[in-house]
A and B are shown apart, each in its own frame.
Chain A
Amino acid sequence: MKFTRLVALLTVSVLGFSLSDAQLKLNGAGATFPYVIYSKWFDVYHQKTGIEFNYQSIGSGGGIKQVIEGTIDFGASDGPMTPEQLNEAATKQGTEVLHIPTVMGAVVLTYNLPGVGQGLKLTPDVLADIYLGQITTWNDPKLTSLNPGMNLPSQQILVAHRSDGSGTTFIFTDYLTKVSKMWEEKVRRGTSVNWPVGLGGKGNEGVSGLVKQTPGSIGYVELAYAVKNNLPYAKLRNKAGSFVEPKLESVTAAAAGAAKNMPADLRVSITNADGKDSYPICGFTWLLVYKHMRDKSKGAALVKFLRWAMTDGQSYAKGLLYAPLPKQVVSLCEAKIRQVTF
């Protein structure tokens, strides 16, 4: 009967599929913030060595959770793991989780205002007020006084934020907590917070997609996402009082101070940094790596990749609008990488 033949073919092919081929494959998941450069790195590395690093950008929250559960070989996050999360990971997986910084990026405020160009000026309190729902229209006096030359419409401000657990959110809310008392009381920092207003988009991709498609909207995304989609972004007034554009140089300036005082576990926040050239909302992004890798070949491959990322990998950063790590941080990372056993 033709049907039984079909069934047999189906079963055999499924069984045939189940044989993994000899290619070394590692699975990682996490932050959408560095997805642009990670996907480039893994593609280049695959062409160089044939090893497949399958990275899924499900958000930093997802990366942290799956690292704790042990369903992936490595994770990625731009919000450092909390002590509770680190403990849980150590208990469940029997090994510590190391944070290895890879690149730095800027969280920019991108907006969609036809007729208004690049470089809208924002101050910390105005930004906090927008995200708290206190400023609701674009032509609010607080905004027009900052931007006299710009033709701000009377439209309502459509706020966009992340709907998933996000390191980008962590960096952004970390900054807002530092600069706004009301934010600190009402919302505070986290990868997932109770947003007073706004629409949720999934991933950096989702938020930039939302802003791109919705006139009158504003959202926070990693610099690469704004630039790659020709979306304008705002100038922010930093701690020292100057309006800084989020360029790679301003990110590096922000990290300069932090590089000298890195804590041992390399988890540090560089938001609202000192220095007149620093962009106030920047952050490191980390790869979450198990200190002891169960699988020998995977462990060796991962370590090799990390070393490559610290050296050759850094050369891709600028082109993709991420800031490469300062030299001191790179040496600290290499020391950390040496701690990985397998």
Chain B
Amino acid sequence: MKAAFAPSLRYYRRKLTGGLMLTLSALSAVVALIPLLLIFFYTISQGFDYLNLDFFIKMPKPVGEMGGGMANAIVGTLVLVATGSVIGLPIGILTGIYLAEFGHNKFASTVRFMTEVLSGVPSIVAGVVAYGFVVIPMRHFSALAGGVALAVLMIPTVTRTTEEMIRLVPQSYREAGLALGIPQWKTTIQIVLRTAFRGIVTGILLAVARIAGETAPLLFTALGNRFWSTALDQPMASLTAFIYDYAKSPFEDWNKQAWTAALVLIILISILSLLLRVATRSRYTQR
């Protein structure tokens, strides 16, 4: 018996609607890429002009004078990120370990909840808090204050990722370690952490890349510096602060330098990510 396939009008309408919606979906994916491409295109084309050796090794010139570079800002961003990481990473990772390994009580639930709360802190508020806790007592704007503000922003991401990654390690790994007589703490460090390592590093990467691009928390903590400085107790220049100052100024020369700084910042963040991936390349294959 041959069943005739005789589609009704309704069938064609359904097919048409379906085809339309699917086309729209595909289109929206294209549309979404447009701003991305535009931003990259502009940053590269506008920033390329000033991307020369001078930019990396020269200091900024006085207002209105052409030329100069952002050597201090580039180093400043690196120092601030490093300071923030040194403060934020240990706290984040160790708290994540605590929550994953020992976190089955009410206290841990509270900490977990509070970490969620902390992840919602707007970056400007982190700056406000660091101003009160570090700048005022120190009577100084400083890179340290900037680092503290950045650390506050890092901690929730790092804690959450660390905890999740450690939880993903199968219980059998821990049991194997204990069965061999390895003390629990050694098991955690040498077996569990090693297994979760790449995942934790991804979390660290995300957090570091995020803070490298932050501006608001540095506004009233690290303030800014027209001179070369790597000291933690002095105000510090940063690429993001320079972009902000130069972008809203009327001087065209400064506007162009802002684009170059944006380009350098994006390249810097990408290099940071790559470096971390390379340095933590595992010799053991993970399944």
- Residues on A close to B: CB < 8 A? 2-3, 6, 10-11, 13-14, 17-21, 25, 27, 29, 35-36, 39-40, 42-43, 46, 52, 54-56, 58, 69-72, 201-203, 205-206, 208-209, 211-212, 224-225, 228-229, 231, 320
Contact = CB atoms under 8 A, between A and B. Distances in A.
Contacts of B141: 27, 71-72
B232 to A, nearest CB: 4
Given A2-B280, A18-B233, A43-B62, A52 B139 contact: no
A243 B141 CA distance: 45
Contact of B235 (A27, A205, A208): A27
A26 to B, nearest CB: 10
Contact of B279 (A6, A40, A72): A6
Contact of A205 (B230, B248, B280): B248
B114 to A, nearest CB: 26
Given A6-B279, A20-B234, A36-B64, 17 more contacts: A2-B280, A2-B281, A3-B201, A3-B280, A11-B86, A14-B83, A25-B234, A27-B140, A27-B141, A27-B235, A36-B63, A40-B62, A40-B63, A54-B235, A72-B141, A208-B250, A224-B64
B251 interface: yes
A72 to B, nearest CB: 7
Question: Which secondary structure dominates chain B's binding surface?
Answer: loop
Contacts of B281: 2
Question: Which secondary structure dominates chain A's binding surface?
Answer: helix
A209 B250 contact: yes
Interface string B199-211: 0010000000000
B94 interface: no
Given A11-B86, A29-B223, A69-B136, A206 B62 contact: no
B227 A54 contact: yes
B231 A71 contact: no
A74 to B, nearest CB: 13
B234 A46 contact: no
A88 to B, nearest CB: 14
Contacts of B79: 14, 17
B251 A228 contact: yes
B115 interface: no
A10 B82 contact: yes
Contact of A229 (B143, B197, B227, B251): B251
Of B135, B233, B234, B249, most A-chain CB atoms within 10 Å: B249
B68 to A, nearest CB: 10
B280 A13 contact: no
B226 A54 contact: yes
B64 A54 contact: no
Given A18-B233, A208-B250, A46 B63 contact: no
Interface in B77-107: 79, 82-83, 85-86
A216 B31 CA distance: 33
A212 B229 CA distance: 33
Contacts, number: 107
Contact of A2 (B82, B231, B249, B279): B279
B82 A55 contact: no
29 contacts: A2-B280, A2-B281, A3-B197, A3-B279, A11-B86, A14-B82, A14-B86, A17-B143, A17-B230, A18-B231, A20-B233, A20-B234, A27-B141, A27-B223, A36-B62, A36-B63, A39-B226, A40-B62, A40-B63, A54-B229, A56-B225, A58-B223, A71-B136, A203-B248, A205-B249, A212-B250, A228-B64, A228-B251, A231-B250
Contacts of A211: 250
A27 B63 CA distance: 17
A39 B86 contact: no
A228 to B, nearest CB: 5
B245 interface: yes
Nearest to B131: A71
Contacts of A55: 226
Contacts of B279: 2-3, 6
Contacts of B143: 17
Nearest to B247: A209
B72 to A, nearest CB: 10
Nearest to A229: B250
A14 B63 CA distance: 31
Given A2-B279, A55-B226, A206 B248 contact: yes
B127 interface: no
A107 B226 CA distance: 26
